[in-house]
Amino acid sequence: MFMGIWISLISFIAVIVSGISLIIAVVKRRPKKRLGYILGGSVILFIAGAILSPSSLSLAVISPEVETDGSGKATIEGEATTDAVLTINGETVKNSNGSFRYTVHLQDDNEQNVVVKAVLKDQKKEQEVLIKPSKEFVAYLEAEKAEKELTKQVETALALAEADPTQKNYDEAATLVHSLSKTYEDYDQRLSLLQDHIQIASALEKAEQSLSRTDLETATKLVAASANKANFDDRLTTLQTKVAEKEAHEKLQAQAVKAVEKAEAEPTEANLSAATSAIAQLPSANEGLTQRAEAVRQTIAEQERQLAKAEQERQAAAEQQANQASQSNQDTSNQAEEYVMITKTGAKYHTHKCGNGTYFSVTLSEALSKGLTPCKKCF
């Protein structure tokens, strides 16, 4: 190392001396060739000495304190000897013609000391740079922390809604998902599936309560269009069976009602029998229709009693009328026949009491039948 310095120093002096001598020789017109060789050799020696002499190591950072940007990144810049090997926190950094740049990314809101080292042969230098988190980065970290906490709440709410897919649980999960600062495709897909599930479950529940054909068709369309149709197939099949049974029951019910109404309008044994048969075909007892059929039965029985009574009354009236006619004929006969007065022992019949004795009235025909003859005084 020192040899190179001495060679450089001696050759530098030789260059100066030989150069001056060469100038003087030119001015005084003396021989120059020898001086030219000496000057050339001195320059060569100077260059060789410079090569053999070690370079001085330099290291300088632009700022000993660097603040991060909003994402937590900070750039360290500086200069160093061109041939020096640079490392920052143990990581080799490219030395571009004596300058360097290195980016540090903080992971939290704590300050970080970064060590910049330069090595050139047996020379070493190092400097510390303090990386400070900016207010924007601290705010970003707080927002990320809040987002992470909110994400945990979202996961819990979604898990609850998926285990118990009610509208209330869905609304709570959806509110949390929509309050996130970022869009999460997975959460949106899970919400979509939940909404689809709840819509189908609601339609099925409505159809199960009403058992109407319209509600069944609505639920069937929703299940057919769902990606989770397999989850509802059994329930839908059961519902279809119940609706078919209800419709069959309603048909039998309508037939029974119609038969009862006909029996009520025309209370005959034939209509009552048809109504009773229709009621018997119902899958479950219908007390209302049974009571109405019984009322028809009582009506028919009452009608029969009334008819029997009317017949009796007709017969009695006919008999009375016949008796009255017979009596009337007898009365008419009696009014047409002549009455006379007789005694129990007399041989004559009289028009009035004629002499002593007890008289009583009889018809002339009766007196004649007894063999009595008219009284000469009375006739």
Confidence of residue 101 (pLDDT cuts 50, 70, 90): very high
Of 160, 234, 165, 217, nearest to 195 (Cα)? 165
Q: How far apart are the first and last CA of the chain?
A: 213
- In DSSP terms, 342 is beta-bridged to 360
At 31, list the tokens.
């021989």
Q: Is the torsion defined by CA of 341, 346, 348, 352 positive or negative? A: negative
Interior/surface letters 257-283, b for 16+ CB within 10 angstroms, e for the rest: bebbebbbeebeeebbebbbebbeeee
- In DSSP terms, 102 is beta-bridged to 76
Return the percentage of the chain with pLDDT > 90, whole number: 58
* pLDDT value at residue 270: 93
Helix, strand, coil shares, percent, the chain, to 5: 60, 15, 20
* pLDDT value at residue 335: 47
Q: Specify the DSSP element, H or E, that contains 255.
A: helix 233-265
Condensed to tens digits (0 to 9), the pLDDT of residues 118-127 reads 999 889 999 9
Condensed to tens digits (0 to 9), the pLDDT of residues 151-172 reads 999 999 999 999 999 999 999 9
Of 60, 98, 57, 100, nearest to 77 (Cα)? 100
* pLDDT value at residue 45: 66
Question: Cα(239)–Cα(237) distance, rounded to whole angstroms?
Answer: 5
Q: Specify the DSSP element, H or E, that contains 277.
A: helix 269-280
pLDDT at 329 exceeding the cut of 80: no
Q: How far is CA 311 from CA 56, 302, 304, 307, 316, in A?
A: 151, 14, 10, 6, 8
Question: Cα(157)–Cα(169) distance, rounded to whole angstroms?
Answer: 7
* pLDDT value at residue 1: 43
Burial class (CB in 10 A: 0-12, 13-18, 19+), 158: buried
Q: Is the torsion defined by CA of 146, 151, 154, 156 positive or negative? A: negative
At 35, list the tokens.
């001086």
Q: What is the rounded average pLDDT for all residues in the chain?
A: 86
What global pTM score does this model have? Answer: 0.50
